[in-house]
């Protein structure tokens, strides 16, 4: 599904060019559940932003389902991102003034979908994450774990084949993290969703079938779970 070859990326700081991704080659097959680990500042978020069509400013070769999607025009690229990728972040990134229902419905509203279908899909997603009864609440009325469930419902509501999660358990206690990881595991096994997750938490990484380590912008050999 994902094939990266010799990806290099630079940020310009003042006059200086800083290399944040160094010759990264990586393949991820459909239905994989992959953890990316590594120290803070090593380039993990930059790498997944590149993979998930948020940042096309890099050198090298990247193909998603055989296509060089970053060559698409902006409209086609946003459509691909909207339809193919579900995003989950550490800080949940919900809209506080919207209800749970409205937050989850958001990705569907870009597509001009009918009201009834929106309602069915939102309730189905909330049921999958175990909080259908919370649809009318506001994010601030929920616990951290429940808020992350809402964010996951929003990520899966359009039935994307691919979920990208950047430290999804970073703001959660260990018991709640375990619940969220079990939810990802179920989505991976039962719904065949491909999941790519950045984490600092080796317990969370143990749910993944494959662990990749990034250090100083370089991809290290796989499986060095306890080295960081
Ligand atoms: N927009 C940016 N402009 C300049 N430097 C950045 C930017 N984003 C990230 N960096 C730098 O790139 C490096 C990698 O960052 P990041 O990918 O966020 O690491 P991680 O997610 O592993 O903590 C860091 O040194 C960070 O300071
Ligand atoms: Mg990061």
User: What CATH number has the domain bearing residue 41?
Assistant: 3.40.50.300
Task: Give the span between the Cα atoms of 18 and 147, in whole angstroms.
Answer: 36
- Ligand with smallest separation from the Cα of 20: 1
- pLDDT score, position 82: 86
User: What is the per-residue pLDDT across 151-191, written as a single tens digit (0 to 9) for each?
Assistant: 999 999 988 999 999 999 988 888 888 988 999 999 999 98
Does a structural domain hold residue 66?
no
> Residue 37: which of 26, 49, 45, 29 has the closest Cα?
45
| DSSP run (H or E) holding 34 | strand 33-37
Among candidate residues 110, 105, 147, the one with its CA nearest the CA of residue 129: 147
Q: How confident is the model at residue 23 (pLDDT cuts 50, 70, 90)?
A: very high
Q: Which of 45, 170, 219 to mutate to test the pocket of ligand 1 (most atoms within 8 A of CB)?
A: 45
Alpha helices by DSSP H, 20-68: 44-51
- Identify which of 9, 111, 16, 14 has the alpha carbon closest to the alpha carbon of residue 70: 9
Give 150's pLDDT tier (boundaries 50, 70, 90).
very high
| Nearest-angstrom CA–CA distance, 40 and 217 | 11
Q: Is the pLDDT of residue 38 over 70?
A: yes
Helix, strand or coil, per DSSP, at residue 187: helix
Q: What is the model's pLDDT at position 228? A: 42
Whether residue 12 lies inside any domain: the answer is no
| Main-chain dihedrals φ then ψ at residue 99, nearest 5 degrees | -70, 170
User: Which of ligand 1's atoms lies nearest the C-alpha of 217?
Assistant: 14
Q: Could you tell me if residue 175 is inside a domain?
A: yes
Sign, CA dihedral 171-172-178-184, equals negative
> What does pTM read for this prediction?
0.89
Quick one: which atom of ligand 1 is closest to the CA of 12? 4
Q: What is the mean pLDDT of residues 124-152?
A: 95
Domain residues for 182?
A: 29-60+73-224
Residue 214: CA count within 13 A, CB half-sphere: 25
Ligand 1 pocket residues where CB is under 6 Å: 11, 13, 20, 38, 40-46
Number of independent structural domains in the chain: 1
Distance 182 CA to ligand 1 centre (A): 29
Question: Is residue 23 in a domain?
Answer: no
Interatomic CA distance for residues 21 and 71, integer angstroms = 20
The answer to whether residue 36 sits within a structural domain is yes
- The model's pLDDT over 89-129, given as tens digits with 9 standing for 90+, comes to 888 899 999 999 999 999 898 777 899 999 999 999 999 99
Q: Which of 42, 165, 166, 200 should be mutated for ligand 1, with most atoms under 8 A from CB?
A: 42
Query: Per the domain annotation, does 14 fall within a domain?
Result: no
Give a yes or no: residue 91 inside a domain: yes
Q: Tell how far the Cα of 46 is from the centroid of ligand 1, in angstroms.
A: 6
Higher-scoring residue by pLDDT: 26, 223? 26
User: Which pLDDT belongs to residue 113?
Assistant: 87
The C-alpha torsion from 24 through 25 and 28 to 34, rounded to 10°, is: -40
Q: Is residue 150 a contact partner of residue 182, using CB atoms and an 8 Å limit?
A: no
- What residue's CA is closest to ligand 1, atom 8? 46
Nearest protein CA to atom 1 of ligand 1, as residue: 11
Query: Does any domain span residue 5?
Result: no
């Amino acid at each position: 599904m994902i094939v990266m070859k010799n990806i290099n990326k630079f940020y310009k700081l003042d006059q200086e060019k800083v290399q944040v991704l160094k010759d990264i080659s990586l393949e991820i097959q459909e239905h994989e559940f992959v953890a990316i680990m590594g120290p803070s500042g090593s380039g993990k978020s930059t790498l997944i932003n590149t993979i998930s069509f948020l940042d096309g400013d890099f050198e090298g070769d990247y193909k998603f389902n055989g296509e060089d999607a970053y060559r698409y025009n902006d409209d086609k690229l946003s459509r691909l991102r909207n339809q193919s990728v579900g995003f989950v972040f550490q800080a949940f990134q919900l809209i506080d003034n919207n209800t749970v229902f409205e937050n989850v419905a958001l990705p569907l509203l870009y597509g001009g979908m009918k009201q009834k279908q929106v309602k069915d899909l939102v309730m189905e997603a909330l049921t999958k994450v175990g909080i259908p009864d919370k649809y009318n609440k506001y994010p601030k009325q929920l616990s951290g774990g429940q808020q992350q469930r809402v964010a996951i419902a929003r990520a899966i509501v359009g039935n994307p084949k691919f979920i990208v999660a950047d430290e999804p358990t970073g703001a959660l206690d260990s018991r709640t993290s375990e619940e969220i990881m079990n939810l990802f595991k179920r989505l991976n096994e039962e719904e065949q969703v491909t999941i790519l997750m950045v984490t600092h938490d080796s317990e969370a990484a143990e749910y993944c079938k494959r662990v990749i380590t990034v250090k100083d912008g370089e991809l290290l050999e796989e499986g060095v779970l306890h080295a960081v």
